[in-house]
Amino acid sequence: MRSIVEGWQARAACRGPQASAFFPPSTAERKEQKLAREQRAKAICRTCVVQRECLEYALRIREPHGIWGGLNEAERKQLVSQQAG
């Protein structure tokens, strides 16, 4: 039986070769490179039919890395803080 997570992930716009934009590279990344990579990832998120499910998942599991649901790590932390306060 397929899980709910697998269902929405299968429909995610980030699947495929563009997935590398959603996580930092294994080598050092300059600030301007990070910002450009995150902007590319967020642009893909804006077209995604499962953006909300993705963000909800990342918030629920407290995902510490990458772009999920159109938000980076710091933006997700800020959202959690706002929801708690």
The answer to whether the CB of 52 falls within 8 A of the CB of 79 is no
Annotated binding site: 14, 45, 48, 54
37-43: list long-range contacts, CB under 8 Å, 24+ apart: 38/67, 38/72, 41/14, 41/67, 42/67, 42/70
Q: Which residues are annotated as a binding site for [4Fe-4S] cluster?
A: 14, 45, 48, 54
CB 39 within 8 A of CB 22: no
